Amino acid sequence: MRAEPEWEAAEVKGEDAKEEVAPDKEKLALEAKKPDPEIDESDTGEQPVLRADRDAVSRNESAAERKRPVTFRRARPKRVTGGARSRLISPLTRKVLAVNFIAVLIPVAGFLSLGQYRDSLIETEMDALKTQGEVFAGAIGEGAIATTLSGDQMLDIPPAQQIVRRLSESNAMRARLFLPDGKLAADSRLLVAGGGVIHIQVLPPPSERRPLLDPIIDMLDWLPRRHDLPPYLEAPMQTAADYEEVIGALRGETSNALRLTEIGENYILSVAVPVQRYRQVLGALMLSKNGDDIDRALRSLRLVVLQVFAGALLVTTLLSLYLAGTIARPVRRLAEAAERGRRDIGRHNHTIPDLTGRGDEIGDLSGSFRAMTQELQAQLDAIERFAADVSHELKNPLTSLRSAVETAARVKDQKKQRQLLAIVQDDVRRLDRLITDISDASRLDAELSRAQAASVDLAAMLTTLADMHQTTSSGKKAPELVLALERESGLTVNGMEDRLVQIFHNLIGNAVSFSPPDGKIHLAARLDGDMVETVVEDEGPGLPEGKLEAIFDRFYSERPSNEKFGTHSGLGLSISKQIVEAHWGTIRAENIPGPAGKPAGARFIVRIPFAKPEK
Task: Specify if 21 maps to a domain.
Answer: yes
How much is the average pLDDT of 183-208?
A: 64
pLDDT at 335: 84
More confident position, 323 or 127? 127
Task: Specify if 99 maps to a domain.
Answer: no
pLDDT at 216: 64
Determine what percent of the chain is predicted with pLDDT higher than 90: 18
**How many CA atoms does the CB half-sphere of 14 hold within 13 Å?**
6
**pTM for the structure as a whole:** 0.46
Task: Specify if 335 maps to a domain.
Answer: no
294/151 same-domain check: yes
Q: Rounded CA gap, 291 and 602, in Å? A: 104
pLDDT at 4: 40
- Residue 19 forms beta bridges with which residues? 10
472/428 same-domain check: no
How much is the average pLDDT of 394-415?
A: 80
Q: Rounded CA gap, 232 and 439, in Å? A: 97
166/296 same-domain check: yes
Task: Specify if 516 maps to a domain.
Answer: yes
Task: Specify if 345 maps to a domain.
Answer: no
495/457 same-domain check: yes
477/538 same-domain check: yes
Task: Specify if 81 maps to a domain.
Answer: no
Domain of 59 in residue numbering reads as 8-72
More confident position, 184 or 78? 184
More confident position, 28 or 495? 495
Q: Rounded CA gap, 145 and 31, in Å? A: 138
Domain count, the chain: 4
Task: Specify if 603 maps to a domain.
Answer: yes
Determine what percent of the chain is predicted with pLDDT higher than 70: 71
Give per-residue pLDDT as tens, 155-171: 888 888 888 888 877 66
Task: Specify if 239 maps to a domain.
Answer: yes
DSSP assigned state of 230: P
What stretches of 114-203 show up as alpha helix (H) in DSSP?
115-143, 157-169
DSSP string for residues in 68-127:
SPPEE-PPPPPPPP-S----SS-HHHHHHHHHHHHHHHHHHHHHHH-HHHHHHHHHHHHH
283/226 same-domain check: yes
CATH number of domain containing 293: 3.30.450.20
CATH number of domain containing 582: 3.30.565.10
| Confidence class for position 109, pLDDT limits 50, 70, 90 | low
pLDDT at 302 over 50: yes
Among 200-204, 286-290, 306-310, 434-438, the range of highest mean pLDDT: 286-290
Q: Which of 414, 440, 466 is the last residue of a domain?
A: 440
462/602 same-domain check: yes
Q: Which of 27, 53, 72 is the last residue of a domain?
A: 72
155/55 same-domain check: no
478/367 same-domain check: no
221/269 same-domain check: yes
| Confidence class for position 25, pLDDT limits 50, 70, 90 | very low
CA 56 to chain centre: 56
* Lowest mean pLDDT, pick from 154-168, 185-199, 590-604: 185-199
Q: Which of 396, 417, 440 is the last residue of a domain?
A: 440
